[in-house]
Chain A
């Protein structure tokens, strides 16, 4: 079945440092890929998405490129801020399942120190 593997956390960075959170996946066919962010006590917010190979999703300075050859969707940001501290989830939606069912990784907790 479908699965998503994220790099284990927690990740602690200083403000303005470069961020990479690794994500790899296993799925049938060609899934759509997502990054969600969850702030303390809140639900999930969609951060960015990519629907086909070589697509780059971007939002709020975050980027991720859909790499079919390596089945990866790593999240990057050039200069993190304290306000980026949150839990980040990589997820996929397989084209062979009904709409709405997503498979999530276990999340990576990011803490950015001033």
Chain B
């Protein structure tokens, strides 16, 4: 079982650019959640996807958007990048239960 995978591992972007991060859930999981973890802080919930729709959203601006595909994989898109968007982005998958499995994360640096 591959577990949750994310790509890329690291990414460096310039202010104002756009970025797409990808996540493949654990086998058998149909729900994907995205979290932002700033340095020295706990993860903050961005949004969750289930059945290809955004089911719940945290307190993040519309610059953050996402998508879920029929195979349950997911993308996180961030437009008009700000320096404050630099963080570790974590994807978590679940089977519509409270127990989540986290991927290794994508480290985004905005310069």
Contacts and interface: CB of A to CB of B under 8 A. Distances in A.
Interface residues of B, number: 27
Given A44-B90, A44-B102, A99 B97 contact: yes
A99 B96 contact: yes
Interface in A95-114: 97-107
Contacts of B97: 99
B84 interface: no
Interface residues of A, number: 25
Contact of A43 (B40, B48, B90, B94): B90
Interface of A: 4, 32, 36, 41-46, 49, 51, 89, 91, 93, 97-107
Interface of B: 4, 31, 33, 40-45, 48, 50, 55-56, 58, 90, 92, 94, 96-105
